[in-house]
Amino acid sequence: MVRILLDLVERVGAVAAGASVTVPLGDADPGIVADWCARTGNELLGVSGGVATVRRGRRPEPPEHLLPGTRVWLYTNFDCNLACDYCCVRSSPRTPRRALGADRVARLAREAAGAGAGELLLTGGEPFLLPDIADLAASCTAVLPTTLLTNAMLLRGRRLEALRRMDRDRLALQVSLDSATPDQHDRHRGAGSWQRAVTGIRTALAEGFRVRVAATLPAGHDGALAPFHAFLDELGIAREDQLVRTLARRGVAEAGVELTVDSLIPEITVTADGVYWHPVAADHDDQLVTTELFPLADAIARVRQRFAEYRARADEAAQWFPCA
Amino acid sequence: MTRPLLVGAVAYTPNVVPIWEGMRDYFADGPAEMDFVLFSNYGRQVEALLDGAIDIAWNTNLAWVRTVQRTGGACRALAMRDTDTVFRTVFVARAGSALGGLEKLRGKRLALGSKDSAQAAILPVYYLRRAGLGEDDVELVRINSDVGKHGDTGRSELDALRAVLEDRADAAAIGGNTWDAIGAGELMPGGFEAVWTSPPYSHCNFTALPALSDERARPWVEQLLAMDWDNPGHRRILELEGLRRWVPPQLDGYASLFEAVREQGIPARW
């Protein structure tokens, strides 16, 4: 039985860190392989058919900035005053409201902070359709820096009052704007939407809020960026707050990049329906992690585990590719 | 521009590639840039050092002894791993063998690793002699399964342990690192037991010749000693190479091997 230890040392020692070997168990107890791996800093990948598979060394942790859970997205409602033709979560004025509600948002914010998140992001549909959006924002900014995504078209009357009640030091707005002139933006988002968005951006800036502007463009659309950045410079948007996102083929978008759980670095996303892998797929079952919102730490742990597995699989594939 | 220091190492495991690429990258950020060359055995590496093809050799203890012999003592050691200062040989037998102590090996069969392994062949014979046991007193079962690599692969030591399991030997002499790798008798208490452990001795070091000036060697050594276990980038390399920190050489720890090589007539090259 002790022979298994000699075989483990020899076979694992003969391969590079990160590579895997198989070792026949013979009459040895699989537990001894697990104990040996734990003691020597290797990883038992599994036991099947009397053979143990062992990876040399331990699976590396993803870099800290890629660790799922450092940012947590909350989909506050899903209904929207716009019906953009590429919306990744199919929001529109006809989309039924699926609201998290003030109590759940407050609890999620606290649990996200407790689980080590560094940032919260609130998104809709259009969050300013919610009458209690100021309360939602307040429960988030009370625990973490928060970004509120909006089309900025509704910042008048009681909604402007709601904005004014928000914490300017802890909350930034992220406004969707696709172009320096109305044509392209309005083509996808509706006539007149560009002008109202620009007006909203000016309002938010005048109210003393940090405003990021995010454009959603088809892949390979770099040529249109120079006038866009110049326009945003004029508006007073800092360069680091001028974001360009590539259109994803999700929701009602007919074209765009394909995004799957094993090609996306996850960002924990919570909706009224469950916890999802990434905000771009918060309306798609293929990226549903769990329907249990609480405790949020459990969902984060599950996403981290799956992400580590995908990374390890990708690393293994990368090891094989050059030889194939 | 000064050319990078060229460091030689022996390719005894696929991990030497990430180890030395990591080292090269680490030194690329400092004043003593380096590159590396891999050899298939220590004989070739020592020859390359003597020929001036490399500036520094990452040598085993036997390769150090041979370099000292070949240079008339003109070479110098620059640094070693912390683990190189406390290397030991362990004599291992089946649990319950009642072979406690070297004297109990009289009339028994002792499996040794490759003939050029200091820890598993040369020093074990030295320790037997110090215990008053000559070649007529203990039957030596020599297993030369990784000659050239000075026992680095551990292969011959594992084969020596298999000889014990298969009753071709009563005990085996192995390096402390191999003993730890199989769980030091703790993973399977009924399997093997250590019957004698040697005093500590020195193992590997970075060896240089006088042709490498102090002006060139010093910044490299200073940067080497500055590698930090708490820095994740450094730690990955340190873990692969089996140390927590690099330390100045402890040359006293080679005295037993010099004596053993002389007594046993180990040649300066083969």
The distance of Cα A249 from the centroid of its chain, to the nearest Å, equals 16
Distances (CA, A) of B53 to A70, B7, B19, B45, B56: 50, 10, 21, 9, 9
Label residue B6 exposed, middle or buried (CB < 10 Å: 0-12, 13-18, 19+).
Answer: middle
- Name the residue among A9, A15, A41 with its Cβ closest to that of B182: A9
β-pairing, B109-112 with B171-175?
Answer: parallel
Residues in chain B with CB shorter than 8 Å from the CB of A5 are: 182-183, 187-188, 191
Question: Which residues does chain B have within 8 Å of residue A2's beta carbon, measured at their own beta carbons?
Answer: 165, 182, 188, 190-192
Q: What CA–CA distance (Å, rounded) separates A236 from B41?
A: 66
**Whether A173 and A266 share a structural domain:** yes
Domain edge (last residue) among B174, B197, B220: B197
A2 — contact with chain B (CB < 8 Å)? Answer: yes
| B178, B188, B240: residue with CB nearest A2 | B188
ipTM above 0.90, yes or no: no
The average pLDDT across A258-263 equals 62
Query: Is A259 within the bounds of a domain?
Result: yes
pLDDT at A319 over 50: no
A54 strand-pairing partners: A21, A44
pLDDT band at B239 (very low <50, low <70, confident <90, very high): confident
Chain A positions touching B18 (Cβ under 8 A) are: 16-17
Q: Is A10 on the interface with B (CB under 8 A)?
A: yes
Question: Is residue B238 situated within a structural domain?
Answer: yes
Poorest-pLDDT segment among A13-22, A68-77, B7-16, B193-202: A13-22
Beta-carbon neighbour count of residue A96 at 10 Å? 8
Say which residue the tokens 């331990």 belong to. Answer: A58
pLDDT band at B250 (very low <50, low <70, confident <90, very high): very high
CB distance B188–A3 less than 8 Å? no
Reply yes or no on whether the pLDDT at A315 is more than 90: no
pLDDT of the residue at A224: 63
**What single DSSP character describes residue B230?**
T
Same domain, A132 and A170: yes
pLDDT-based confidence at residue A323 (cuts at 50, 70, 90): very low
Tokens of B250: 């402890």
Query: Is residue A322 situated within a structural domain?
Result: no
Q: How far apart are CA B226 and CA B19, in angstroms?
A: 17
Helix, strand, coil percent values for chain A (each to nearest 5): 40, 20, 40
Shared-domain flag, residues A248 and A234:
yes
Residue A318 lies in a domain: no
What is the rounded CA–CA span in Å between residue A172 and residue A167? 9
Rounded distance between C-alpha atoms, residue A234 and residue A177, angstroms: 14
Tokens of A297: 């730490």
Average the pLDDT over each of A9-23, A301-315, B111-125, B199-213 and give the range with the smallest value.
Answer: A301-315
Q: How far apart are CA A91 and CA A10, in angstroms?
A: 58
Residue A318's pLDDT band (boundaries 50, 70, 90)?
Answer: very low
Chain A, chain B: beta-carbon pairs less than 8 Å apart: 55
User: Of A60, A75, A95, which marks where a domain is finished?
Assistant: A60
Q: What is the DSSP string of A50-101?
A: TEEEEESSPPPPPPGGG-TTSEEEEE-----S---TT-TT---TTSPP----
Nearest to A13 among B13, B190, B192 (CB): B13
Contact B15 A17 (CB under 8 A): yes
Q: Confidence class of residue A320 from pLDDT cuts 50, 70 and 90?
A: very low
Q: Which of A9, A27, A64 is the best substitution to test chain B (most B C-beta atoms within 10 A)?
A: A9
**Which of A2, A15, A27, A33 would you mutate first to test chain B, the one with the most B CBs within 10 A?**
A2
Per 3-state DSSP, what percentage of chain B is helix, strand, and coil (rounded to 5)?
40, 20, 40
With beta carbons less than 8 A apart as the criterion, state whether B238 and B228 touch. no
Of the partner residues B165, B187, B240, the one whose CB lies closest to the CB of residue A39: B187
- Find, in chain B, the residue whose alpha carbon is nearest to that of A31: B187
Does residue A274 belong to any structural domain of this protein? yes
Minimal-distance CA residue of chain A relative to B185: A2
**Structural domains in chain A (count):** 2
From CA B83, how far away is CA B100, in angstroms rounded?
26
Q: Residue ranges of the alpha helices (H) in A115-257?
A: 133-141, 157-164, 182-189, 193-206, 225-235
Looking at the structure, tell me whether residues B224 and B257 fall in a common domain: yes
Chain B partners of A15 at a C-beta cutoff of 8 Å? 14
Q: Are residues B171 and B221 in the same domain?
A: no
Q: What is the DSSP string of A271-294?
A: ETTEEES-GGGTT-GGGEEES--S
Nearest chain A CA: its distance from B145 CA (Å): 12
Residue B105 shares a structural domain with residue B146? yes
In this structure, is residue A109 part of a structural domain?
yes
Is 80 exceeded by the pLDDT of residue A3?
Answer: yes
Average pLDDT on A176-181 reads 92
What pLDDT does residue B71 have? Answer: 97
A303 or B29: whose pLDDT is higher? A303
Q: pLDDT value at position A39?
A: 87
Q: Do A10 and B158 touch (CB under 8 A)?
A: yes
**Residues of chain A contacting B183 with CB distance shorter than 8 Å:** 5, 35-36, 39
Of these ranges, A287-291, B11-15, B52-56, the one predicted with the greatest mean pLDDT is B52-56
In this prediction, residue B186 carries a pLDDT of 86
C-alpha A229/C-alpha A250 separation (Å) is 26
Please tell me whether residues B25 and B110 are part of one structural domain: no
Residue B233 counted as domain residue: yes
For CA atoms B240, B246, B251, B253, the dihedral sign is negative
Q: Residue A304: which pLDDT band, with cuts at 50, 70 and 90?
A: confident
What was the pLDDT predicted at B40?
Answer: 95
Is the CB of A5 less than 8 angstroms away from the CB of B182?
Answer: yes
Residue of chain A minimizing CA distance to B158: A6
**Cβ neighbours of residue B25 under 8 Å, at least 6 residues apart?**
none
CB B54 within 8 A of CB B8: yes
* Region of poorest pLDDT, from A43-52, B64-73, B201-210: A43-52
CB contact under 8 A, A40 and B240: no
**Residue A68 near residue A303 (C-beta atoms within 8 A):** yes
Residues A34, A172 within the same domain: no
Residues A146 and A50 in one domain: no
Q: Is residue A288 part of a domain?
A: yes
Neighbours of B166 (CB within 10 A): 9
Pair A204, A180 in one domain: yes
Nearest-Cα residue of chain B relative to residue A14: B13
Residue of A nearest to B182 (CA): A5
Share of chain B above pLDDT 70, in %: 99
CA B50 from centroid of its chain's CA atoms: 20
For B187, the closest of A3, A5, A13 (CB atoms) is A5
Mean pLDDT of B41-66: 97
The number of angstroms, rounded, from the C-alpha of A111 to the middle of its chain's C-alpha atoms is 17
The token pair that represents A179 in the structure block? 């172009």
Greater model confidence, B246 or A316: B246
Closest to A254 (Cα-Cα) out of A140, A21, A87, A123: A87
pLDDT band at A252 (very low <50, low <70, confident <90, very high): low
Residue A150 and residue A128 share a domain = yes
B147-161 mean pLDDT: 90
SS3 A220: coil
A128 and A263 part of one domain: yes
Answer yes or no: do B231 and B181 share one domain. Answer: no
CA distance B158 to chain A (A): 6
Nearest CA in chain B to A7: B158
pLDDT score at A1: 74
Say whether both A158 and A55 belong to one domain.
Answer: no
Cβ contact B162–A6 (<8 Å): yes
CB burial readout A45-78, b (16+ within 10 A) else e: bebeeeebebbbbeeeeeeeeebbbbbbbbbbbb
- Please state the domain count of chain B: 2
Query: Please, which residues have CB within 8 angstroms of residue A165's CB and are 6 or more apart in sequence?
Result: A134, A138
β-strands B5-10, B56-59 pairing: parallel
Q: Output the six-digit token pair for A177.
A: 């704007």
Residue B45 covered by a domain: yes
Query: Are the beta carbons of A125 and A91 closer than 8 angstroms?
Result: yes
What is the model's pLDDT at position A60? 64
B226 falls in which pLDDT band (50, 70, 90)? very high
Domain extent, residue A210, equals 64-296
Out of B197, B220, B245, a domain closes at: B197
Minimum distance, in Å, between the CA of residue B140 and any CA atom of chain A: 21
Asked if residue A206 and residue A68 are part of one domain, the reply reads: yes
CATH code: domain of residue B192: 3.40.190.10
A301: in domain:
no
- Looking at A23, A45, A60, which one is the last position of a domain? A60
CA atoms within 13 A on the CB side of A281: 23
Q: Mean pLDDT, to the nearest integer, of A104-119?
A: 95
Partner B contacted by A19 (CB < 8 A): yes
Q: Are residues B180 and B97 located together in one domain of the fold?
A: yes
A321 is a domain residue: no
Reported as a pLDDT band with limits 50, 70 and 90, residue B1 is low
Residues A87 and A188 in one domain: yes
Secondary structure (DSSP) of B12-60 = SSTTHHHHHHHHHHHHHTSSS-EEEEEESSHHHHHHHHHHTS-SEEEE-
User: Per residue in B247-263, is it b (16+ CB within 10 Å) or e — as a string?
Assistant: bebbeebbebbeebbee
Domain with A230 in it: what CATH number? 3.20.20.70
Residues spanned by the domain of B62: 5-84+202-264
**A106 plus A32 within the same structural domain:** no
Chain B contacts of A13, Cβ < 8 Å?
Answer: 13, 153-154, 181
Instruction: Give chain B's mean pLDDT.
Output: 94
Residue of A88, A86, A82 whose CA lies nearest to A269:
A88
The rounded distance, in Å, linking the Cα atoms of A52 and A29 is 10
A186 conformational bin, left if phi > 0, alpha if psi -120 to 50, beta if neither? alpha
Using a CB-CB distance cutoff of 8 angstroms, which residues of chain B are in contact with residue A35? Answer: 183, 187
